[in-house]
Amino acid sequence: MTDRKRRPLGAPTTVRDHWRRITLRFAAARLAFGHGTSTARDEAAWLVCSALEIPFDDLDASLDRPVEQARAQRLEELASRRIDSRAPLAYLLKEAWLDGLRFHVDERVIVPRSHIAELLGDGLAPWIPSPATIGRVLDMCTGSGCLAILAARAFSDARIDASDVSADALAVARINRDAYGLGDRLRLVQSDLFTALPGDRYDLILVNPPYVDARAMRQLPAEYRHEPDLALAGGKDGLDVVRCILDEAPDHLTGHGILIVEIGANRAVLEAAYPRLPFTWLATRAGDEHVFLLHRADLGGAPS
């Protein structure tokens, strides 16, 4: 047995030692996950990679690398803050990852985790047969701007509007927009849903709105209580904002326009509330109950 293998867990010196130690600490602390990771092991890996500046894909190859004292101290301090504060790790690191891209986040916005992101990876095929058909996109309730940025990548010829009622959220979205050099294509708009967008029509509207119902809000783990209530709370049944979107979206979609909305675990409630709407439920890694699609023609009224 080597000296490294005999070394007590209390004195980690390699990347492997720190990863193992922090995994055990996170598991023992009974943290809640869901802000980019789902297990103590994965969250510890994220912390180790970020604090030690190791690309995720290089972690396995770096396990036996020694960790200098200053970096080790920083790593352990971050782990302690995660446990003591119950704040999402994304807030401590000022970063979140979605579809392989890094985004700045802080407590002015929820931590990005939308299921819509994975759908944008292939340009929403087959529902959108060609990216060239999308000229204007609206990402409503944009928060950090992550979906707007992913939409800009998926539809390279489109102009993107990213709206949010929160000026603080838009300040974070601006950081991310500028980091990806999209200032000429991505417009940030402070708006309470469609209020500040009169006359604007879009080929695609994406929305990840507040949809947590009142009962679930009362039961949220401590980690989620660090996020803005404004971005989570969807009223008694979780559909307060979704109802407004369905009522107003027809006036803001082009004749061939598409509306895509994420609603969490509210599929049954939504279908009961709108039995005549022909929702198309999009398959994601989490299942086919979280994101729906409607065409402009599905929503009634005369298309523009």
State pLDDT tens for residues 78-128. Answer: 999 999 999 999 999 999 999 999 999 999 999 999 999 999 999 999 999
- pLDDT of res. 12: 75
Domains of the chain: 3-93 (1.10.8), 108-299 (3.40.50.150)
Q: Kindly indicate the confidence band of residue 26, based on its pLDDT and cuts at 50, 70 and 90.
A: very high
pLDDT at 254 over 70: yes
d(CA 281, CA 222): 31
Lowest average pLDDT, out of 3-12, 254-263, 266-275, goes to 3-12
pLDDT at 11 over 80: no
Find all residues with CB under 8 Å of 137, minimum gap 6, and list them: 148, 151, 152, 155, 158, 159, 160, 161, 202, 203, 204, 205, 206
pLDDT at 236 over 80: yes
Question: For the CA atoms of 193, 253, 271, 98, what is the dihedral angle to 10 degrees?
Answer: -70
Find all residues with CB under 8 Å of 169, minimum gap 6, and list them: 108, 109, 142, 143, 144, 228, 231
d(CA 139, CA 150): 10
Q: What percent of the chain has pLDDT over 90?
A: 94
Comparing CA positions, the residue from 165, 143, 128 lying closest to residue 254 is 128
- pLDDT of res. 10: 54
Q: Is the peptide bond before 129 cis (omega within 30 degrees of 0)?
A: no
Q: Kindly indicate the confidence band of residue 300, based on its pLDDT and cuts at 50, 70 and 90.
A: confident
Pairing of strands 202-207, 253-262: parallel
State pLDDT tens for residues 142-181. Answer: 999 999 999 999 999 999 999 999 999 999 999 999 999 9
